[in-house]
Amino acid sequence: MNVTINGAAHELPPGATVTQAVQRLTEIRSGVAVAVNDEVVSRGAWDSTPLAEADRVEVLTAVQGG
């Protein structure tokens, strides 16, 4: 299954969840938020939210700015 994580192409096993997408970037869960196709997925739902082919996953955190 091919998905986009923060703009880069990734291949994940079929049925992979949001958690597995996040783990491609970091093991840390705090201070991180995820949107799939522009919809926020709350942290409590990462394990139970499966991804689909061509999903766009955005993994954000706080940085210096503003």
Partner 1 sequence: MNDDLLLGGEKFSSRLIMGTGGAPSLDVLEQALAASGTELTTVAMRRLDPSARGSVLDVLSRRGIKVLPNTAGCFTSGEAVLTARLAREALETNWVKLEVISDERTLLPDPIETFDAAERLVADGFVVLPYIGDDPALARRMEQAGCAAVMPLGAPIGSGLGIRNPHNIELIVESANVPVILDAGIGTASDAALAMELGCDAVLLATAVTRAHRPDLMAQAMRSAVVAGRLARSAGRIPRRRYAEASSPMVP
Footprint on this chain of partner 1 (rule: CB under 8 A): 6-7, 25-26, 31-35, 38, 40, 42-43, 58-66
Which residues, in sequence order, are CB contacts of 33 under 8 Å at separation 6+? 40, 43, 59, 60, 61
Question: In the complex, what is the shortest distance from the CB of residue 50 to partner 1, in angstroms, rounded to a whole number?
Answer: 19
Closest contact distance (angstroms) between CB of 13 and partner 1 is 20
Angle at 17 between CA 33 and CA 47, to 5 degrees: 70
> Between residues 7 and 14, which has the closer beta carbon with respect to partner 1?
7
Cβ closest to partner 1, residue 14 vs residue 65: 65
Tokens of 54: 């061509």
